[in-house]
Amino acid sequence: MEKPLNFVLIGRSGSGKGTQAELLMKHFGDFLHVITGDLFRSLAKADSHVGEIIRKILQEGGLPYDDLATTLWMHEIAFNLKSSQGLMADGFPRRLPEAKNLDRFLEFLSRKENTFYLLIDISREEAFSRLTKRRICKKCGKLIPWVGVFRELKVCDNCGGELMTRADDKPEAINNRLDYYEKSVVPVVEYYKEQGKLININGEQPIENVFKDILKAIK
């Protein structure tokens, strides 16, 4: 049997990496989609000391304790990834030590050579503009990006629910997230670049073209 493909998706908030993850999964088949943002949101519901702290951090727009991210995705993968499934890493690694952890883990899983590292590249200005305008569904929680046809949606395309802007999409919180990217994620990007692994995709074009560029690049 052919080894499953794995993807590590990197990009500023608002780059549309979640959308590209969906398209890749539709195109290539069975994946475990690991979204660290979702893992933290579910941790925030835990009746535990950590849950309490994370709840507070998420509400105030802060950033969670870094080593927890590695713990969460490793746990998720350890308990759920089937050998036949691809791994879709969405939103991690976001720090250099985390990238090195992921390297060792992929090595352990014999998946290193079948992994693509995709940077969906948009400028900070573009990210800021998209994030202040994007919306979320009140009912199912789907994020509706501020790109292409999504801008014209009046209700959720998943469940028909009402759309609103997110509490943590305030300019100050957005700037904090974008600062974090410069400080912590850019070194990860550089790390993959130095190893010749980074695939740089122009994210400032229509969704279909971003996806076409990805398919071309990984062929």
List the structure tokens of 80.
Answer: 């759920």
Closer CB to Zn ion, residue 159 or residue 218? 159
Considering only 58, 89, 137, 163, the residue that binds Zn ion (CB under 5 A) is: 137
Q: Closest distance between Zn ion and the C-beta of residue 136, in Å?
A: 9
Q: Which stretch binds Zn ion (CB under 5 A): 69-77, 93-101, 132-140, 172-180?
A: 132-140
* Distance from C-alpha of 83 to C-alpha of 33, rounded to nearest angstrom: 14
Residue 111 designated active-site: no
Residue 177 designated active-site: yes
Considering only 59, 84, 158, 195, the residue that binds Zn ion (CB under 5 A) is: 158
User: Based on the number of CB atoms within 10 Å of its own CB, is 91 exposed (0-12), middle (13-18) or buried (19 or more)?
Assistant: buried
Q: Closest distance between Zn ion and the C-beta of residue 4, in Å?
A: 30
**For the window 79-118, what string marks contact with Zn ion as x by the rule CB under 5 A?**
----------------------------------------
Catalytic residue among 166, 170, 193, 197: 166
Q: Which stretch binds Zn ion (CB under 5 A): 46-54, 74-82, 116-124, 131-139?
A: 131-139
How many residues sit in the footprint of Zn ion (CB under 5 A)?
8
Q: Is 161 in the site for Zn ion (CB under 5 A)?
A: yes
Residue 94 designated active-site: yes
Residue 135 designated active-site: no
* Distance from C-alpha of 89 to C-alpha of 31, rounded to nearest angstrom: 10
Residue 104 designated active-site: no
Residues that bind Zn ion (CB under 5 A): 137, 139-140, 142, 156, 158-159, 161
Active site residues: 17, 94, 134, 166, 177
